[in-house]
Amino acid sequence: MTDSRLSERNQAEIERSATEAMKSVLKPPERAQIDRYLNPPADTPYGLEYSFHLLGDVRGKTVLDLGCGEGENIIPLLERGAHVIGIDISLDLIAITQKRLSDANLEASLMVGSAYETGLPDEFVDAIFCMALIHHLDIKLVRDEMWRILRKGGIITLKEPVRFSKGYAWVRSLLPAREDVSEFEHPLTREELAIMTQPFSVQGTRYFRLPFVPLVSRVLPSKSDAAWRASNMILQHWAAAERYATGVATKLQKVA
């Protein structure tokens, strides 16, 4: 990708993040919304809980929350005993994260920076926590930077939106796009996910959220949890359903 195209992509992400920051309403975190990520079960129906499960024991380890956004995930990472670095390209979102941590009397190292050039030394972090970031970016460039800064034996916990079914992709293209989506982002195809995972040892991959889940959650909010659990049961017992999943979570280990 040319430098000008990369710069254009970064600028689009900064602008999208600024819009996100303007809509943000910072509230004190509910205790239950932190506790659910401290020791979640392996069979949880929720992708974010499963991503925290994949992290394992991070006490005393350096964990990078790459694309940390508003910092919601940093508090449970800190409570799990990690030394946390948060990096986001948006100054506005880093400011929200800093306010969130200050309100909770917690500390982490926060940096405004690009996922392509974090500024961190080679093999500096033990783990990278990366939630719904890759689909915004040039995959190979950010993958190579993550490989560079990750210690040997270190892990990446990755959660991303996916769209493997061409039929579902066509149906989804007929629906209105969300207003806060940049022209560069899209759910990962199977081939794009393979580019991201290619140099790593891939472990614990699970797929989440069949298309009926957001529909049920929107129309019948009281049935949202039941919809998530039904989706999880289908995906656990019918491998063919994976092509219709809208999210994936996996652990990548640097073994070379």
User: What would the pLDDT profile of 105-114 be if each residue is shown by its tens digit?
Assistant: 999 999 999 9
Residue 173 has pLDDT above 70, yes or no: no
Rounded mean pLDDT of 73-86?
Answer: 97
The contacts of residue 51 (CB under 8 Å, 6+ apart) are 129, 131, 157, 158, 159, 249
What pLDDT, on a 0 to 100 scale, did the predictor assign at position 158? Answer: 98
Query: Is residue 228 in some structural domain?
Result: no
Q: What is the mean pLDDT of the chain?
A: 89
User: Is residue 205 pLDDT above 70, yes or no?
Assistant: yes
Confidence band for 78, pLDDT divided at 50, 70 and 90: very high
- Residue range of the domain that includes 68: 3-209+243-253
pLDDT > 90 fraction of the chain, expressed in percent and rounded: 77
| CATH number (domain holding residue 21) | 3.40.50.150
66 belongs to a structural domain = yes
pLDDT surpasses 60 at 93: yes
Quick check: is 124 in a domain?
Answer: yes
Among the residue ranges 5-14, 17-26, 173-182, 231-240, the one predicted with the least confidence is: 173-182
Cβ pair 211, 187 in contact under 8 A: no
Average pLDDT over residues 187-210: 96
18 or 255: which leads in pLDDT? 255
Measured over the CA atoms of residue 203, residue 204, residue 209 and residue 210, the dihedral's sign is positive
DSSP, collapsed to helix, strand or coil, labels residue 252 as strand
The pLDDT > 70 percentage for the chain reads 82
pLDDT at 45 over 80: yes
Residue 151 tokens read as 């210690």
Per the domain annotation, does 230 fall within a domain?
A: no
Which has the higher per-residue pLDDT, 22 or 71?
71
Q: Which amino acid is at 235?
A: L
Structural domain count of the chain: 1
- End-to-end C-alpha distance for the chain, whole angstroms: 26
232 domain-assigned: no
132 — pLDDT class (breaks 50, 70, 90):
very high
Is 109 a member of any domain?
yes
Q: What are phi and psi of 104, to 5 degrees?
A: -95, 5
Structural domain includes residue 141? yes
* Residue 118 in this model has a pLDDT that exceeds 80: yes
pLDDT over threshold 80, residue 170:
no
Rounded mean pLDDT, 82-97: 95
**Residue 220: inside a domain:** no
Helix (H) or strand (E) holding 202: strand 201-208
